[in-house]
Amino acid sequence: MRKLILATLAAAVPATMVLAQSAEDTVKARQGFFQLIGYEMGGLAAMAKGDVAYDAQTASAHAADLSTLTSLHVGDYFAPGTSNEDLPGKTRALPAIWEDSDGFMERVQALSAAVENMNGAAGEGLDALRPAMGQLGGACKACHDDFRARSF
């Protein structure tokens, strides 16, 4: 009997670990990831637009954080079964992410390239920051256009 309980427990622990990473959890992690990206973007955009005075150190810090974020292993944030068809009302991730994964990966690489460019530009003054911001925002838009639903 004791053996049986232990065996059941042993089986149950990994099972609950798998359950802990439900589709909903994945969506939450993904949205948290983009929340952070957006936060760093917002800091850079405020300077580019002149809403906030340019500061080389702050701008560089935002760019470095974007670099860190885009270097995360994001594959699991985009686990299959987490599109807006799977979880209506919870996510805006279109099934196209998984159906056209090559196209999606192109956008991800464009984002990485834009982040890398921003890292070189952010500390070099407003005139360097602005075009880098354009490229970076453009990378956001290009992906949102094809892979994110306009509404929940």
Partner 1 sequence: MAAAGDTQRQGAPSAVLWDPVVRVLHWALVIAFAAAWGLGKFGPDQMTLHFYAGYTVGAIVVLRVIWGFVGPHTARFASFVRGPSAIAAYARRLPERRPSHSWGHNPVGALFVVGVLVVLALQVTSGLLSDPEDYINVGPLAQYVSYEATQTALALHEPLSTVLLVMVLVHVAAIVFYKRWKGENLVTPMITGRRP
Q: Which residues bind partner 1 (CB under 8 A)?
A: 38, 41-42, 44-45, 133-134, 136-142, 144, 150-152
Closer residue to partner 1 in complex, CB, 83/139: 139
Q: Nearest distance from residue 22's CB to partner 1, in Å? A: 25
Report whether 79 contacts 24 (CB < 8 A).
Answer: no
Report whether 68 contacts 5 (CB < 8 A).
Answer: no
Closer residue to partner 1 in complex, CB, 42/50: 42
Closer residue to partner 1 in complex, CB, 56/142: 142
Nearest to 129 by CA among 58, 38, 36: 58
Closer residue to partner 1 in complex, CB, 83/107: 107
Q: Nearest distance from residue 143's CB to partner 1, in Å? A: 9
In terms of C-beta density within 10 A (0-12 exposed, 13-18 middle, 19 or more buried), how is residue 75 classed? Answer: exposed
Closer residue to partner 1 in complex, CB, 28/144: 144
Residue 148: φ, ψ to 5°: -125, 130
Report whether 27 contacts 80 (CB < 8 A).
Answer: no
Q: Nearest distance from residue 26's CB to partner 1, in Å? A: 20
Report whether 48 contacts 133 (CB < 8 A).
Answer: yes
Q: Nearest distance from residue 41's CB to partner 1, in Å? A: 5
Q: Nearest distance from residue 120's CB to partner 1, in Å? A: 19
